[in-house]
Structure 1
Amino acid sequence: MIRKYIVERRSWIMLFILLQLLIIFVSFYDPTIPFQSTLYLVFLSMILFSTFFVIRYNKETRFYKSLEERDNNLDLTSIASPESPFEHMIEQSMTDQAELLKQAASHNLMTLEQEKDDILAWIHEVKTPLTAMHLMIDRIDDETMKTHLTYEWLRIHLLLDQQLHQRRIPFIENDLYIEHTDLESLIFDEIKTLQSWCIHKGIGFDIHLEVPQVLSDAKWLAFILRQLLTNAVKYSLASDIIINSYVRADQTILEVKDSGRGIDPRDISRIFDKGFTSTTIHHDNTATGMGLYLAHKAAKSLSIQLHVQSELGVGSTFTCTFPQRNEFVHITGV
């Protein structure tokens, strides 16, 4: 800060030095002026100027130091009180800008909230004709046509469900109710939703639940399972998907294992990233890169550790490690 202050006041410093040199020059060439007395006077002036400089440095940089040290936010309370007219101008300008930014942020937040509400309302409206469409598909006699239409209907249903949860996930903490959740009924409900797709692909399920219940939120846990099962069915072909639950190190673990195409080792660390699909089969236009990302975010809010082990061309195993009860003490409803 001292270097910046010297640079800021360099014109005044140079003016003072030039004045002192001028006085010495005049005294040196004018015999009527005592040269030694002049030097003494210049010396005293230098001392007084240096003292003045130090005093003014502490006084004039206090406001700017507070600007330099403040956090990069809209809170201006940490700024020192301005003293000079220019400092008042700076403070007023910053206050006006902060107020404008707060108003813009508030407006943008209201706009985003309105958009979110509109999209949620639209999703719920679309579900009505989608349900009617499913009933109409059930009355089709042509099994081939019925299978194809059911698959496309399921894709729309899953994408809408994904969008719905994507809009809700920023506020998931307000939507949690932790209770003992029956794994079997939850898993079978999700499998039933995917039944037509699984039949079409020749996929079965091998389920072994040593632990029948877990402590979690049933609705959001169902969403996580939906993403894992959808992912497993999508990338498997004519093989069984194995679902196990067991206890290890006093923690319940739910495992979803498929025999699909597997995941490239270079992709493992990125599969839970938003929008990431694959570097192995990059032309897969049906992948959105959102399912596992949303599942991971929901799992994190539920204190569930979501991991994956995979071998390219062999298959993948996703594991959900559930927390113990004492890890939920901060969530209302336990």
Structure 2
Amino acid sequence: MNRFRRILDYIYAYKYWLLMLVCTNLLFIFFAWLAYPETFQVLVGLMVIFTITVSVLSIFITFHKEKAMEDAFHEFLLEPTEINEERLCKVSPRMTWPYIWEMGKVFRSYEKQLNDRTLELADYENYIEGWVHEVKKPLSLMTLVLDNRRDEMSPLVRKRMVHVRDTMHRDVERILYFARLKAVHKDYLFESINLLAFCKKTVTDYQSILEESNFQVEFHGQDVEVVSDRKGLAFIVGQIIDNSVKHVTQSQEQPVLRFETVRENDAILLIVSDNGPGVSREDLPFIFDKGFTGKRGSLTKEATGMGLYLVHKMADDLAIELNVKSEIGKGFTLVLKFPKVK
């Protein structure tokens, strides 16, 4: 069917030449009728047979030539080397050679630029990952000092130091996960997780940050099982906590962070909500965009627009569906819908 369609395309492409051939045949048929009326039918039959044979043979040759040119063109697009360029020129009309040469130069120039940028990006990612691992050393040393020198500092100073350490550790982890999200190979390990207990454990890791903002954390619902990657899910929950902490306002009497598990039509939902300033309706469609802070971000200097962007990227990797509900002055709610796994 495709071959027949291509033949029709060739006929349409060369329709003017075919029309000229038909007109020429009609003219010669008229001359044959005038000059040789006794052998007119034989001459017309031979002329028709010759015309059909030449037309079919021309279409057949053109079809195979176009097929060879198409194959050479695809190879040239995939790898625009000078060898493939020469092969394409051999099967193409001579009048198109200058265009092929110019196209090859442009493709090779873009390919070189792309390879250079790819190498630069790989070097940058390697540098960032190396820097992250180097930064973890002083953070570990800070943890060691805070644990072993507890008696040598006041509780308030130690509390502030722990808060600073956890904030730095949180920022370092965000950079590391940002680099991992762009990696080709990802070491996700999917397993059964008790969702509510997992959220409680993650909250304890952010305890110093929550205490600094005087957050009250609530847990509701039953402890249900989901299948996901522990590290990835911990990163998502941690970024949601961090997002709520960043947008605490002085007008809030008691900041509250609420975790709730719900079963809905055989699906499992994790609903995380706060009573913060909320998000305006016009900003909601863009909150997962990279670098977007909106009106809510103008309330704090700490907003970068990266937290929810990374949450969305990680949720895509873990097949978790995200839904947002919010209004100005009525808090922010993020619903995580986990995939159903048999």
Q: Give the TM-score, by structure 2 length.
A: 0.68
The 1:247/1:146 distance shift into structure 2, 3 A limit, reads same
Q: Which residue of the partner structure matches residue 262 of structure 1?
A: 278
Runs of 4+ displaced beyond 3 Å: 73-81
Separation in 1, partners of 2:297, 2:143:
32
Q: Which residue of the partner structure matches residue 205 of structure 2?
A: 193
Q: Which runs of 5+ in 1 are unaligned?
A: 1-58, 327-334
Instruction: Name which structure has the greater RCO, CA cutoff 8 Å, separation 6+.
Output: 1
Q: Which residue of the partner structure matches residue 227 of structure 2?
A: 215
The C-alpha deviation readout for 1:126-155, integer Å capped at 9, x for no partner, is 011112113324425222222322222222
The C-alpha deviation readout for 1:268-320, integer Å capped at 9, x for no partner, is 11111100112245262211110100101111121111111112112111110
SS at 2:313's partner residue?
helix
Give the drift of 1:172.
6.8
Q: Which residue of the partner structure matches residue 335 of structure 2?
A: 319
SS at 1:279's partner residue?
helix
Matches within 5 A, 1:144-163: 144-163=156-175
What is the root-mean-square deviation in Å for CA atoms of aligned residues? 2.9
What amino acid does structure 1 have at the position aligned with 2:340? Q
Q: Which runs of 5+ in 2 are unaligned?
A: 1-61
1:260 and 1:316 in contact (8 A); partners too: yes
Matches within 5 A, 1:229-240: 229-236=241-248, 238-240=254-256
SS at 1:321's partner residue?
strand
Matches within 5 A, 1:10-159: 74-75=77-78, 81-84=91-94, 86-138=95-147, 139=150, 141-159=153-171
Separation in 1, partners of 2:144, 2:279:
37
Q: Which residue of the partner structure matches residue 182 of structure 2?
A: 170
The 1:218/1:280 distance shift into structure 2, 3 A limit, reads closer
The 1:299/1:281 distance shift into structure 2, 3 A limit, reads closer
Give the drift of 1:94.
1.7
Question: What count of residue pairs does the alignment treat as equivalent?
Answer: 261
SS at 1:175's partner residue?
coil
Separation in 2, partners of 1:241, 1:280:
17
The C-alpha deviation readout for 1:195-247, integer Å capped at 9, x for no partner, is 11222222122112424321111111111111111112333453331111121
SS at 2:302's partner residue?
coil
Separation in 2, partners of 1:240, 1:172:
38
The 1:184/1:128 distance shift into structure 2, 3 A limit, reads farther
What amino acid does structure 2 have at the position aligned with 1:105? L
What amino acid does structure 1 have at the position aligned with 2:173? D
Separation in 1, partners of 2:260, 2:296:
28
What amino acid does structure 1 have at the position aligned with 2:269? I
1:211 and 1:252 in contact (8 A); partners too: no
Separation in 1, partners of 2:284, 2:104:
47
SS at 1:202's partner residue?
coil
SS at 1:287's partner residue?
coil
1:206 and 1:242 in contact (8 A); partners too: yes
SS at 1:265's partner residue?
coil
Separation in 2, partners of 1:256, 1:123:
29
Say yes or no: does 1:247 pair with 2:263: yes
1:275 and 1:290 in contact (8 A); partners too: yes
Separation in 1, partners of 2:220, 2:265:
19
Give the drift of 1:260.
1.3
Q: State which drifts further: 245-254 or 73-82.
A: 73-82
The 1:188/1:128 distance shift into structure 2, 3 A limit, reads farther
Separation in 1, partners of 2:271, 2:237:
10
Give the drift of 1:177.
2.2
